Structure 1
């Protein structure tokens, strides 16, 4: 696929870009390396000032940046604007907290003085996806830049204007030109960048195949990688749950970003005692969602990002039905309009062995499973190759404790929707990846944790 902005609501190609030549790419790598030698010594206070200025730009121009995202990948404009505001929040968080998070830590040993110091590594490559075009990048860039690293961004090829906007924001904020650069390149150029001695580490958010490819290349060159990959998050509802809140949240948790989120709730695991009521009301709420132009304020569901994503999702649903699953609502692409539109869909009565048990459905499709008790709920939740997030709804303290302790995931939310929070570490286990972003753990991923021992 070429590097272009293609409006997923109608298929119009709005702008195209030429990929960087090998010569231009080399110049950017060289600039990043030369910049790092000076940038690593910039006082923390100065970096914080620039990052706060980036937050101000994001907030002042939220409508512009939000519209760019909507035109490139189809999320409702109101959600895109909220994403811009969240990017501002992560900038402010690390501007305020990085000095403390990166401060020397004294440790009592047999030395007269021993401590831990956190120092930058150098150039970090970020390979980022299209589904949250600004947020995925800023949650990497803010801590990496505050730690003294410099960044290279290889963004998804269908969001080039968002990628260039991020570079623009950081440069306008005052960061030197070489501290953060967007690389308009194809996926086939990533391996050579990872192999380059000047690049010290990489981070990727995206698909399993992309993560495996990057990690394999990085492993050959002994480079650290942080991976945030797919998810098939369980949403467990027990008999004691506040059903009204759980159902309302279930709609948002599945339909966020037109269903295209790694941490969207995908598998709804329902206790038999409340399953019938939950399902009837969920179908009713899905039916009320408005599908349409994502630029309009009353649109709930916009298009999927690309025709390929639409095709893949449609094939998964059709195969699940062939294997015995039942469609309660939706189930077919919308052919009455241009664009990549797929309706809110619910699959139930999913049989054992059906692909819907273990594959990630990246779009507005909810998968329903009934269970008799908490033991079965936990088994079903953990019966997945993924382990990103999980949500459980109960007012029973013993059930809460068991979900917290026994669910295999990087995050467990009790009576709430799974979401990322700048103050908390974010990441997964199993095939959802490894490493953490955000919080204290996020800023420590790309530093040399240096031990100092003095006699």
Structure 2
């Protein structure tokens, strides 16, 4: 039987080894999930809501314990881990209070006596999730899925199995019936036959482009619905009329929170030439002030990357860009899984830091003359998850929003996910939406009901 070991990226010490589920165990888990669906779909929204609110309460009550596991497994600073747990409680409360309204029958006047669209759950949905937000990525799927009457089966990233089991624990402690939400302890090599299993009715994945393509291919052969949230290379567009101090603070947070390991992080800083010198000088000062260190310390802002190979990849992207003519302003050094907060200017469209996704605390800086050039630079990416525009002329910035090939445009704010708004991208950032009424409807059968006398 194969085992998968979790390693603390800060200390390098082994945390725990997990035995992978066998094929027989996987089949039993899926059959149990399928059986549970038959009764779970009949539960009222009121019953599901009580359980989901209990899950929110469990998250708040034991947020310190859950956060500590998160920090130890993937290196997230503890204060940010706690904030992630709290956000998960929010999404549980949001869907507990809004799912019924989001899924109410839609009456449509036709020549029928009565006609309407009814939203009905699809069944067992497989979630394939990453390590960078090990709780949030799962809960933004699980809360709407369970409230809608679906069943969740989780295949989490192999380095955060402790988090995966903790999520299962949250739902069990909240009182959800066995089989409503289950974790599969398996590696990536086991995913294909799981998707092909007829019990699985749909798949949602947050991860890399290659992983998304592989999942979409397998699901497509079986004609199964998928939602893919893949990479991002978001631009932070700083116009000359911005509130410079507020913009600096937001840009630092957008790039460096979660040690830069986020698909929606602002990775390409585009600054208007007329203010670029002052903006970059002040940016260097602020980034220097970010405290690196032990992720279990409350005042640490920059922890380690989740694995050493990820830090090596980032190191190579920075190195290649500098060799091609970019200017290293700050940082650039790596020690094991730790990578210094890094600023690199004079980035061109031909450099890896511009056209590749950088997953860590390194910011690529490019200047532009006018808004047309800024739009062109921003859109010059195979990704399309989101963009941030900073300007005091909000009306003019809002009029620009249609010109960006993105899933989201944020004005004077970093791109972020909010339970009340749809989240997802275009181009190689994926398809489908999570969160809000749009997200909860992704895995529903929109059934037409037509009645004549």
Q: Give the TM-score normalised by the residue count of structure 2.
A: 0.98
1:298-313 equivalences under 5 Å are 298-313=299-314
| Structure 1 match to 2:393 | 396
Shift of 1:340: 1.0
Shift of 1:357: 2.1
Asked whether the equivalents of residues 386 and 429 of structure 1 are also in contact (C-alpha less than 8 Å), the reply is yes
Range 437-446 or range 320-329, more displaced: 320-329
| Structure 2 match to 1:127 | 128
1:392-431 equivalences under 5 Å are 392-397=389-394, 399-431=396-428
C-alpha distance in structure 2 between counterparts of 1:101 and 1:285, whole Å = 42
C-alpha distance in structure 2 between counterparts of 1:366 and 1:153, whole Å = 33
Shift of 1:2: 5.6
| Structure 2 match to 1:332 | 333
Shift of 1:397: 4.2
| Structure 1 match to 2:21 | 20
Shift of 1:352: 4.0
| Structure 2 match to 1:50 | 51
SS at match of 1:320: helix
Give the direction of change, closer, same or farther, for the CA distance of 1:352–1:154 in structure 2 (3 Å limit): closer
Give the direction of change, closer, same or farther, for the CA distance of 1:191–1:244 in structure 2 (3 Å limit): same
Asked whether the equivalents of residues 234 and 386 of structure 2 are also in contact (C-alpha less than 8 Å), the reply is yes
C-alpha distance in structure 1 between counterparts of 2:318 and 2:396, whole Å = 33
| Structure 2 match to 1:210 | 211
Asked whether the equivalents of residues 387 and 429 of structure 1 are also in contact (C-alpha less than 8 Å), the reply is yes
Equivalent pairs counted in the alignment come to 451
Shift of 1:289: 1.2
Give the direction of change, closer, same or farther, for the CA distance of 1:303–1:364 in structure 2 (3 Å limit): same
Q: Kindly provide the CA deviation profile for residues 269-309 of structure 1, in whole angstroms up to 9, marking residues without a partner as x.
A: 10011111111111111111111000001111000000111
1:4-19 equivalences under 5 Å are 4-19=5-20
Structure 2 gap segments, 5+ residues each: none
Q: CA RMSD in A?
A: 1.1
**Is 1:260 aligned with 2:257?**
no
| Structure 1 match to 2:161 | 160
C-alpha distance in structure 1 between counterparts of 2:451 and 2:417, whole Å = 40
Asked whether the equivalents of residues 323 and 351 of structure 1 are also in contact (C-alpha less than 8 Å), the reply is no
Shift of 1:137: 0.3
| Structure 1 match to 2:95 | 94
| Structure 2 match to 1:220 | 221
Shift of 1:143: 0.3
Asked whether the equivalents of residues 112 and 454 of structure 1 are also in contact (C-alpha less than 8 Å), the reply is yes
**Is 1:195 aligned with 2:196?**
yes
1:427-438 equivalences under 5 Å are 427-438=424-435
Asked whether the equivalents of residues 237 and 269 of structure 1 are also in contact (C-alpha less than 8 Å), the reply is yes
Q: Kindly provide the CA deviation profile for residues 340-363 of structure 1, in whole angstroms up to 9, marking residues without a partner as x.
A: 100000111123422222100000
Choose from 334, 343, 350 the match for 2:340. 343
**Is 1:362 aligned with 2:335?**
no
Q: Give the TM-score normalised by the residue count of structure 1.
A: 0.98
Give the direction of change, closer, same or farther, for the CA distance of 1:402–1:380 in structure 2 (3 Å limit): farther
SS at match of 1:54: helix
C-alpha distance in structure 1 between counterparts of 2:39 and 2:397, whole Å = 50
Range 230-239 or range 403-412, more displaced: 403-412
C-alpha distance in structure 2 between counterparts of 1:304 and 1:192, whole Å = 31
C-alpha distance in structure 2 between counterparts of 1:109 and 1:115, whole Å = 9
Range 347-356 or range 31-40, more displaced: 347-356
**Is 1:37 aligned with 2:34?**
no
C-alpha distance in structure 1 between counterparts of 2:63 and 2:395, whole Å = 44
Structure 1 gap segments, 5+ residues each: none
Asked whether the equivalents of residues 8 and 71 of structure 1 are also in contact (C-alpha less than 8 Å), the reply is yes
| Structure 2 match to 1:384 | 381
| Structure 1 match to 2:70 | 69
Shift of 1:311: 1.2
SS at match of 1:295: coil
Range 320-329 or range 59-68, more displaced: 320-329
Range 352-361 or range 43-52, more displaced: 352-361
Asked whether the equivalents of residues 2 and 157 of structure 1 are also in contact (C-alpha less than 8 Å), the reply is no
Shift of 1:44: 1.1
SS at match of 1:185: coil
Asked whether the equivalents of residues 36 and 149 of structure 1 are also in contact (C-alpha less than 8 Å), the reply is yes
C-alpha distance in structure 2 between counterparts of 1:119 and 1:398, whole Å = 41
C-alpha distance in structure 1 between counterparts of 2:354 and 2:84, whole Å = 31
**Is 1:443 aligned with 2:429?**
no
